[in-house]
Structure 1
Amino acid sequence: MDPQFFKDWGGIIATFISIGSVIYAWLTAGSRANTEALGKLTGRIDEMEAGLLEMKAEIKHLPDEKALTQLKLELAEMRGVFGRMEENISSMSRTVHRVEEYLLKKGTN
């Protein structure tokens, strides 16, 4: 074989390899950007999943509808008890004032 033949074909093959490399780099440049964007998105999704897991754990500790209804009933009962106590204290206060006035008037006579 003639060395000139290899020299001619070597140049043609090198040119095709160069063109192929440029085309490959151009085609894969977009995929690198997409890979980076997907990496960032995956990180945000992981953060959101961690937040959701934390929220689920906290929600488990909250009372259910039955417990809230029971709590409302107990609060209403406590309001009634405090209302009666307020009435008793008010009547005791009036009595104390009357006794005080009586003693003050009796002490001045």
Structure 2
Amino acid sequence: MEAFDVARNVISVATGLISIGTMIYVWLTSQSKVNEADIRDLHKKVSEQDGRLQGFENALKNMPDKDTVHDLDMKVSELNGQIRVVSESMKAVERTAQRIENFLLDQAKK
């Protein structure tokens, strides 16, 4: 019976070790599944951010550079100067039209 008791003790210890090993394996794999879900979420967020970054890069490519903006500023300044000249000419035309109107009104009174 002594061999039977030793075998039973060995089996009992082996069963305990297997149980502890199983618990450790379950604990490690459960953490792995949580980490896998976290990694999947992070991958999804990185993909979304990559899409947004591509949008910003495309928008930036289509924006004018400093030379183009400077040229546009110069052309607007030139147009403002031309508008001032036209405005002065229009004042002269307005004065002439006023004189003609006054002349015609004086002629109508006579």
Regarding TM over 0.5, the answer is yes
Q: Point out the more displaced range, 92-101 or 5-14.
A: 5-14
Identity over the aligned pairs, expressed in percent?
Answer: 25
Tell whether 2:98 aligns with 1:97: yes
- Distance in 1, matches of 2:108 and 2:11, equals 132
The amino acid across from 2:88 in the alignment is E
Tell whether 2:80 aligns with 1:59: no
The amino acid across from 2:67 in the alignment is K
Q: What is the DSSP-based 3-state SS (H/G/I as helix, E as strand, rest coil) of the residue aligned with 2:63?
A: coil
Alpha-carbon RMSD across the aligned residues, in angstroms, is: 2.4
- Distance in 2, matches of 1:18 and 1:108, equals 124
Tell whether 2:86 aligns with 1:82: no
Unaligned stretches of 5+ residues in structure 1: none
Aligned pair count reads 108
Unaligned stretches of 5+ residues in structure 2: none
Q: Point out the more displaced range, 21-30 or 35-44.
A: 21-30
- Distance in 2, matches of 1:93 and 1:20, equals 103
The amino acid across from 2:59 in the alignment is E
Q: State the Cα distance separating 1:66 from its structure 2 match.
A: 1.5
Q: State the Cα distance separating 1:67 from its structure 2 match.
A: 1.5
Tell whether 2:73 aligns with 1:72: yes
Q: What is the DSSP-based 3-state SS (H/G/I as helix, E as strand, rest coil) of the residue aligned with 2:29?
A: helix
User: 2:40 maps to which residue?
Assistant: 39
- Distance in 2, matches of 1:48 and 1:22, equals 39
- Distance in 2, matches of 1:86 and 1:3, equals 119
User: 2:20 maps to which residue?
Assistant: 19
Q: What TM-score results when the alignment is normalised by the length of structure 1?
A: 0.78
- Distance in 1, matches of 2:87 and 2:4, equals 116
Q: Point out the more displaced range, 22-31 or 66-75.
A: 22-31
Q: State the Cα distance separating 1:82 from its structure 2 match.
A: 0.9
